[in-house]
Structure 1
Amino acid sequence: MAIAALSWPAPGSPSGVARYLYGGGSPDSATVDQVRAALSNDVWFIAGYGLALTGFAWIFRLWAISEFGRLAAKYVAAAVALTVGADLAKHVLLDYALRHHNSADLITAAAAASIIKWCAGLLALGGCLATLGVFLRALVPWSRRLREGVSALAQRWRWLGACSSALTWPWRSLRAYLRKAVAGSRWFKACAPGKTEIACSDSIRATWWRGLQAEPPAARAKTDELSWANAYYVPGAEKVRKSREGDPVQAICLSGGGVRSACIAMGVTQEFSKAPPIKLTPKIRRRFRRRAAAPKLIDAVDYVISVSGGGYTAGARLLAVHDKESPLLSERFEEGSPEFDHFRRHSSYIADSPGELLVALTIVLKNLIASMAILFTLPAVLGSVLGYLFSRSVFSFAVIVPVPNPSLGGPPALPCLTAHSASWYAVAAFAAFAVFFTGAAMFVEFVSWKSFSEWLKLRLQGLAFGSAVFAVLVLAVVAGLPALMRLCWWLGERAPGNQGGAAAAVSGLVGLNYLAAIAAMVWKDRDKLSKEATKLSSLKRLLPPGVVALVLVMATLAALLVAWLITLGCFAANVFAHATADGKENTFFQMPFSSWWLPGLLLLTMLWVGSVDIASLSLNPFYRSRLGQAFAVQRVKHGDHWHAEAFHPNKFTWFDEFGEVPVGGPKFVFAAAATITGKDKPAPGLNAVSYVMSHDYIGGPDLGWLKTAGLFGQSPPRIKRDLTVLTAVAVSGAAFASAMGRHQKGFEKLLAISGARLGTWLPNPKFVANLAGAETDQCLDPKDNTRPWPRSLPAMRGAGYYYRELFGFNYSDGRLVQVTDGGHYENLGLVEALRRRSRLIFCVDGGGDAPPLASGLADALRLAEYELGVTVTFDDFPGYSLRDLTPGSGEPFKPGDAFYSLNGRLAKRTVAIGLITYPAASGLTEGEERRGVLIFAKAVLCRDFPEWLLTYAAENGVFPHDPTSDQWFNEGQFAAYTEMGRIMGRQALKCVEFLTKVGKISNPTEPDLAKLNGANRIPTPSRADNNATTATAVTQPA
């Protein structure tokens, strides 16, 4: 409509004026007066559309939220001014040209002004589209208030209630049928109207964000370590610390690493389910006073923090205790239990059979096709519009004929580029402005050094850059797009001229992307297996760190841009050819009926793209479903036998119901990462910030915290589906995504294009904080107090979020943030345990570090030191040094021994002990309270392993570093890694005994605890005993 309004001829204007303007001959003398009169009347039309475009631009600027949106609004406003000004200049110059007998210079100047008008008008129309988006966004809260108003009136007037009931009868019937079809599903209960009313009272319903924020941190004395102090704020952490009554806060960290890490974590936690707890305080003891079974170590720790694959085990243990018996954590997934047997049978969880593998590959293909539709709908629609516009006489200023028409006779040769001098003058005008403003800025810098001169210089430089942008825009319209259309026409003339050829080209493009996506997912961690993994390639020697990945990203985007431009050019050329098929300026309705299928198909595609949720078109739902079938199990009784059954797919594991242990136990924290760009981005190379999910709170110190239950009550239905334990497990393990934090490889954009993404978009706590702060003018940035923040979360994550992933627009003030694998921030979960000021930490590292380096631990220690001020040293406990975990440090086998080939892979032991030192910013009192102990267990080979495990290692050279991309574990892999986890757990418990003897932790077997648990000391068998019992422990150091 806006384009039609701008291109509508002046009232009373005769035809042919546009051709006269662009050098197509002059009007006869009889119509000159008529043209001049029409130009005078057209001034009011210019004023009308100018006011309309100005209003749209003003609304866009007023309601723009992001930095990019506000910058775009400035360019739209400038384009509106240029459009109106150039149109007025064109009228004045054209009037003078007609008055002075067709002066060639005036005609050229008027044509240049007309070209500037149309080129700037295309950008100015962006304000109309943006205003439409603002209107649709505002409809969400308005529609809710309208429903509430209608409900209130219906209670007063019965006839209105009857009409409303009749109108909503089809929906209520469908809802009743669905409720009956999935009886027992809590999803429909959660979506019932009463859910929101319970979560948010009437007094604050209009300002729902007030009840979602976590309590602000307690005021602290001023400190130079303010950044560290802010990083320690975790809601509820202080309450947990006080419940320990001065004793250390205890945490178990389960690292990432896919199913490899899940097996190791399962073995470790099985050993922790046998060991007695360490120092039960009266408050903690009261949790278990009504339990028949004695609590174990895993029941009595304060936190279980998991990342990626470690979250598989953590989520499985958490969900397993939500049955009718409400058992302790230690009473599920024991050795030989039904739950553990189910895990063993489903260790190849992605696809257990050829049929399931085919389903997985089909889903990847489906996502690829859907992503391609989203990606290429925009150039198809834009190309069709531009192709039609270029067929109009008012747009006949292209310096290249877009599509030659052989029916007009003569060879389809390119016209001389100088034949349209007005087009080049339009480009030169903006280029001259850019040079002028740049020179003015240099002159200001030369004559003055005061602050005002610096302000003026920056403004002039901004004007120079803006002029250059408009110069490029005009050049693209008058030469770039016509040349692209001509190129696509030329390629089409030489390509197969049938539908089969086009189908083959499309199929080839989809197929190549499909194979590339599969290769990127499978090949993700192969470099870790190479013996040269720690050596720098010749390319990396020449380029700084991170540049290689950046070059790959740019190459991927460049290839994507080429495909995008070809799509745009092909659609534009096709529409242009149909509109000018007979050599005349045909309107849309005069085009051949056979070409109508194109706009119809585009319209249907646009409707589909506009109603799709990109999180549903990623691999996240499939990944979550497969994890649920393998790890979300409950113990049920059939007759006299107990079995473990997976949760039904329609049973949502909501955080507020399944996110905590029913009868007391540790807090489960699923560590993920949020990708942030823009001015608030993290340190270069990190590219992500902490984002954790738990029963109580969701968020992180950089973005803020939200109450999980309150967020669930106020979220739209589509986001509610992602506030579950299984989603937390899946997102925490979203190893490949369009943004991968510190693990950027360069192929992430390919995954975004293909739809092979495991991450999702979740509510941003900082957005909620800005909403609350804007009410009382208390935002951290004063500019945010006046910004028009949206009043609701998005009902769906539409195509706009897909383009954000593709181009990396992840601003910290958006309504949603992109959340991916916790390993993209820190793969051990150690930083999250230190953030909660834990002073006794069991850290289980099942990652796939390239030996002999402990890269995961090094990343965690570096991050802890620079973000929290925490230092961890491993030289304070003789016999438990970190170097004892290095392959090759263990006692070798003698020549001729069956395991002699393993000598280079043997370590002394699997555990090391570190001393934790907290800074004053942690809030801990000076002295021993700032000291803690880290028991670090890593998956390495040792001489004292059971014979069968050493045999497996000898036969499988990659063990224990199977790539994370291998999620199809067989029985041997499962048993080997689980047994290694049990050995690591037993050796970690030996560290507890050692630390008790040296007085670093309290004695876990004090008299009252011994009555509760009984003696449960960990034996120290010899290698001969290992062969018989498959149990092992390190020798107690002196």
Structure 2
Amino acid sequence: MAPHTRRDAAEREPVEAFGEVVCFSDIFRKEVSLINERRGTHDPRGHIVLETEAREDTSGHPVLRPNEEACVVGLALSGGGIRSAAFCLGALQALNETGVLRRVDYLSTVSGGGYIGCSLTAALNASSGNFPFTSRIAEDEPPSLQHIRDHSNYLFANGVVDVLHNASIYARGLLANAVVILPFLLVAAALTLIAWNIFGLPRFVVTTYLSLLLAVAAIGWGVYRSGSPRQREPEIPSYPAKVVGTLVILVLISAFCELQPYLLNAMLESQTAASGSGPLLAVAAGWIKTISAALAPAAVALAFLRSKVEEFIKSARESPRTRAKIAGYAAKAAVYVAALILPLLLWMVYLEITLWGICINARLPHCSAPARLNNLADYLFGTTGHNATLLYLVIAALFVLITLLLRPNANSLHPLYRDHLAKAFLFKPEERLTKDKDLQEERPLLSDISAVAGPYHLINAALNIQNSKTANKRGRNADFFLFSSQFVGSKTTGYIATRDMEEIPNGLDLATAMAVSGAAASSNMGAESIKPLTPTLALLNIRLGYWLRNPARVKEAGPANRSSTSLFSRLRRRHNVFANYYFLLELFGLLNEKLKSVYLTDGGHIENLGVYELLKRRCRVIIVIDAVADQEMAFGSLNTMERYARIDLGVRIDLPWQELTNVARKISKTIDDTGDCPKLAGPHCAIGEIAYPGDRRGVLIYIKSSLTGDENDYIFHYKRRYSQFPHETTLDQMFSEEQFEAYRALGFHAVYKLFDRNDRFAHLDPAKCPHTRAQIALLDHLFPRVSTDAEPGQRQRFAEWLSADPLGAA
């Protein structure tokens, strides 16, 4: 044992009160004790013993690592929606067939990999550890496999019925969002009616005075900074900078407010001229004239620069680099244009209802307000001259009261998504089924998952922290968030016992964790967030994300069965969980780790392979199944993971992935050009090295969704007709039987051929990397070849490939 190792301290079991926040070393101890229980006395690797490194983490807690002799094995299933679920299903079947799966201690899943990973966990839990997706070529396919295949179109498994059902739920969510937003529009209209004379002053008087004050402040700031004693003071942050910045914001707000009366006057004047076509149409016509006048000088300038423009267009046609730049600029422009559409529509709605209020209050003869609205205002408030204003405030108050009854997750798309996924992937396995019977849905609580039935499951999500001043210093907009049978949480929020989180009434179970881990489409998407589109996506209810009680603040709420039942206590517990509060946080991206509830989305919004948590646990062998859409074979998700590992964990990864890229690109191009290709025995896999702190080494087995030419006929038949296979877009979540089977069969082929020693693999050069031979020998020891149908000359060990011809077939 190393001199700095202290095993006694590492083996202590943590004791927690309800909602007690624990550190990572505490949860690691608990996980290892459960893994040891599963290993029992028959695993030749023996029990895992945790050692304490000679350093502490950034929070001052001890850094633990498993002893090398225990050879902790982790399996990561990547994101990628139903595409990844299908590919990873085949991979799991192959791992089971080759005896590798029983050696896996940790299962780490993200998004689509989580679909099939959670399916496996639920099935193992319900069947005492029996693998549910046995691969056998027979007429009676296992019901579990048949069930998933039948639900590959999981969002619309029942056809038109599901279409109507999904549409009605989506419409309900839009109406719920409207209930939250309309009070703001009505109050804005009412304030405009009240303040008509204030902001109706000619020539933007308030804005003019504020602009003058801004100019004086800026000049004064310049004089202040010119003093020699102050030239060494920091510019930012400073009190003058805050004052000037505040004045700039006030000028913009004032200018916008003072613009409204001009627009409303134009709309009023257009009532007669519009001839019944509506005031908005008339205003739009006026704007078109104004824009045309503004564009006229630009058109003249364009005429003079015609030759330069033609030269630029010609260059764009001939230069791929220029085309790429233009495409990038066009994409950014399209995002900003799309981001403006819905806010502009809301602005027009505000103008229209304000105009109605003016017409009702002033009783104008050519009023465009709806007759029923006019009559209702008169009936309730008479002819006071402020009846529309009062009506708007009353309606706004009613809507606010309604929002108090809404909950953050109730009307998002999360429940719909969760239920479809649960129906497709969470079930109780059966040996045989009659024709008219389906598998029974199985939705266990996370804390009810057996520790000995299968690998310890880590379900990865992303904690959105776009507005955090401390946790988001690196600009990732997200942190790693974990669901497991024992603990829930993140480094930022801390971790608490899963059973404690389940006692909070938030619906947390395995189905919820699976859906959160795969919540790819949302208004806020961690590192993948599109900030200009955040309000638009939120308003359109593109919200698969989930609000979960902050682990750091669960203790405040107390368990449901111990909480007071008084009306005051219930109202107090509901404080800050109102839908309007959290919806507004989503709308403007004001998300951080200190809120009472935190916003979680797809784990791929920070790391899409699921490897990070396995590296954090110092797994000696990590098997990665990468089914990410990567048409260019650029390995973007791998590069992102390597960067996080190096910065956060001090872990360096050396993986020879370039050979996979070269072969896959060559095969794909040959198939596209000729319809055929050479049959190469791999590589689908690259085996590399993990360099942990403290001079510890690990092995990374990286299996990529790719073609090498020796796949079966129906995989190639599908590839010939769909050139993007096996990297079709994740937007396609409606797989056909053929499509699902092509990905499943490819996953089985890539993994089985590797562990049966039929496929070559990319590896580090033993002459340059002295640990390569020892690491490959470790794989031969951990995962001996189990197939008995070896042909003459069949390789029996991974090590035999180290000296093989790099282009040779098996």
TM range (shorter): 0.7 to 0.9
Gaps of 5+ in 2: 1-14, 30-50, 285-315, 366-377, 559-570, 764-770, 804-810
Deviation at 1:490, TM superposition (A): 4.9
Residues of 2 paired with 1:981 and 1:232: CA distance? 42
SS at match of 2:647: helix
SS state at 2:516 partner: helix
User: Of the two structures, which has the highest relative contact order with CA contacts closer than 8 Å and spacing of 6 or more?
Assistant: 2
Whichever of the two has the greater Rg, that structure is: 1
Indicate how the Cα distance of structure 1 residues 957 and 701 shifts in structure 2: closer, same or farther if over 3 A, else same: same
SS in 2 for 1:668: strand
Following superposition, the deviation at residue 958 of structure 1 comes to: 2.4
Aligned counterparts of 2:260 and 2:54: Cα–Cα separation in 1? 59
**Among 122, 131, 147, which residue is 1:342 paired with?**
147
* DSSP-derived class of the 1:883 partner: helix
Q: Which amino acid aligns with 2:90?
A: G
CA distance in structure 1 between the partners assigned to 2:617 and 2:401 by the alignment: 47
Q: Give the AA of the match of 1:541.
A: K
- Report the CA distance shift for 1:830/1:765 in structure 2 as closer, same or farther (over 3 A): same
CA distance in 1, matches of 2:678, 2:349: 56
Which 10-residue stretch deviates more, 906-915 or 986-995?
A: 986-995
Aligned to 1:560: 342
Query: Which amino acid counterpart does residue 653 of structure 1 have in structure 2?
Result: P
SS at structure 1 position matched to 2:69: coil
CA distance in 2, matches of 1:898, 1:813: 52
Report if the CA contact (8 A) 1:251-1:302 is conserved. Answer: yes
**What corresponds to 2:775 in structure 1?**
1000
List aligned pairs for 1:457-606, cutoff 5 A: 458-477=238-257, 479-490=258-269, 538=322, 541=325, 554-581=336-363, 588-591=381-384, 601-606=395-400
Match of 1:1016 in 2: 786
Shift of 1:303: 0.8
Shift of 1:307: 0.8
The answer to whether residue 691 in structure 2 is matched with residue 691 in structure 1 is no
Q: Does 1:819 align with 2:637?
A: no
For the 8 Å contact 1:892–1:906, the answer to whether it is kept is: no
Whether 1:632 aligns to 2:455 is no
Alignment of 1:921-932 (within 5 A): 926=695, 930-932=696-698
Aligned-pair distance for 1:594? 9.5
Partner of 1:248: 71
CA deviation map 1:225-251 (0-9, x unaligned): x8xx44998x9x94xx54x67322210
Match of 2:497 among 698, 701, 707: 707
Give the letter for the 1:327 counterpart.
S
Shift of 1:976: 1.2
Which residue does the alignment assign to 2:720? 954
Deviation, 1:634, is 0.4
- What amino acid sits opposite 2:540 in the alignment? S
| TM-score, L = length of structure 1 | 0.58
- CA–CA distance in 2 between the matches of 1:601 and 1:891? 64
**In the superposition, relative to structure 1, how do residues 902 and 832 fare at CA in structure 2: closer, same or farther (>3 Å)?**
farther
Decide whether the 8 Å contact of 1:889 with 1:907 is kept in 2: no
Q: CA separation in 2, counterparts of 1:907 and 1:538? A: 39
Do the aligned partners of residues 475 and 756 (structure 1) sit closer, same or farther apart at CA in structure 2, a change above 3 Å counting?
A: closer
Contact 2:621 2:698 in 1 (8 A): yes
Say whether 1:380 aligns with 2:210.
Answer: no
CA shift at 1:620, angstroms? 1.2
Query: Are the counterparts in 2 of residues 213 and 768 from structure 1 also a CA contact under 8 Å?
Result: no
Distance 2:518 2:741 in 1: 22
2:689–2:699: 8 Å Cα contact kept in structure 1?
A: yes
Question: How do 1:341-380 residues align onto structure 2 when only pairs under 5 Å count?
Answer: 341-352=146-157, 353-380=159-186
Q: Give the distance between the partners of 2:150 and 2:245, measured in 1 at CA.
A: 62
Corresponding residue for 1:866?
Answer: 647
- Judge conservation of contact 2:123–2:132 (CA < 8 Å) in 1: no
Work out whether residues 186 and 393 of structure 2, in 8 Å CA contact, stay in contact via their aligned partners in 1: no
Quick one: structure 1 residues 434 and 1000, their matched pair in 2 at CA, closer, same or farther if it must change by over 3 Å?
same
TM-score normalised by L of structure 2: 0.73
The 1-side partners of 2:220 and 2:278 are apart by 57
Alpha-carbon offset, residue 310 of structure 1: 0.4
Please name the residue that 1:903 is paired with: 677
Residues 635 and 643 in structure 1, CA contact (< 8 A), matched pair in contact too: no
Change (3 A) 1:555 1:334: same
In structure 2, the partner of 1:330 is 131
Identical columns (%): 23
1:725 offset after TM fit, Å? 1.0
SS of residue in 1 equivalent to 2:548: strand
1 or 2, which has the higher helix percentage? Answer: 1
The reply to whether residue 940 of structure 1 matches residue 706 of structure 2 is: yes
2:406 aligned to 612, 631, 646, which one?
A: 612
Structure 2 residue identity aligned to 1:359? H
Match of 2:461 among 651, 662, 672: 672
Cα pair 2:462 2:605 within 8 Å, conserved: yes
For 1:748 and 1:537, how far apart are their aligned partners in 2? Answer: 30
Match of 1:439 among 212, 219, 225: 219
Name 1:975's counterpart in structure 2.
741
Q: How far 1:957 moved relative to its partner?
A: 2.1
Give structure 1 stretches of 5+ with no counterpart. 1-199, 277-296, 401-416, 506-531, 773-789, 876-880, 921-925, 1026-1032
The Cα shift of 1:803 comes to: 2.2
1:396 equivalent to 2:197? Answer: yes
Decide whether the 8 Å contact of 2:21 with 2:551 is kept in 1: no
Q: How does 1:179-198 map to 2 (within 5 A)?
A: none
The answer as to whether partners of 1:733 and 1:822 remain within 8 angstroms in 2 is yes
- 1:230–1:701 CA contact under 8 A, matched in 2: no
Alignment of 1:2-81 (within 5 A): none
Pairing of 1:737-886 with structure 2 (within 5 A): 737-744=522-529, 747=533, 749-765=535-551, 796-875=577-656, 882-886=658-662
Contact 2:654 2:688 (C-alpha < 8 Å) held by counterparts: yes
Q: Residue 417 of structure 2 aligns to a residue in which SS?
A: helix
Shift of 1:466: 3.2
Aligned length: 687
How far did residue 839 of structure 1 move? 1.5
Report the aligned-residue RMSD: 4.7
Question: What is the CA deviation profile of residues 139-168 of structure 1, one whole-angstrom value per residue up to 9, with x for unaligned ones?
Answer: xxxxxxxxxxxxxxxxxxxxxxxxxxxxxx
Give the Cα–Cα distance (whole angstroms) in 1 for the partners of residues 517 and 211 of structure 2.
50
CA displacement, residues 843-894 of structure 1 (integer Å, 9 cap, x when unaligned): 001111022322222222233223322222235xxxxx64145345778999
1:735 and 2:520 correspond: yes
User: SS state of the match for residue 449, structure 1?
Assistant: helix
For 2:90 and 2:610, how far apart are their aligned partners in 1?
A: 18
In the TM superposition, what is the alpha-carbon distance from 1:330 to its structure 2 partner?
2.7
* Structural mapping, 1:102-251, within 5 Å: 209-210=19-20, 229-230=57-58, 238=64, 242=66, 246-251=69-74
Q: Supply the distance in 1 between the matched residues of 2:180 and 2:272 (Cα, whole angstroms).
A: 28
Whole-Å Cα distance in 1 between the matches of residues 496 and 432 of structure 2?
A: 41
Select which of 267, 276, 279 maps to 2:90.
Answer: 267
Shift of residue 354 of structure 1?
A: 2.6
For 2:227 and 2:422, the matched residues in 1 are separated by 70
Residues 376, 567 of structure 1: 8 Å contact kept = no
Match for 1:872: what amino acid? I
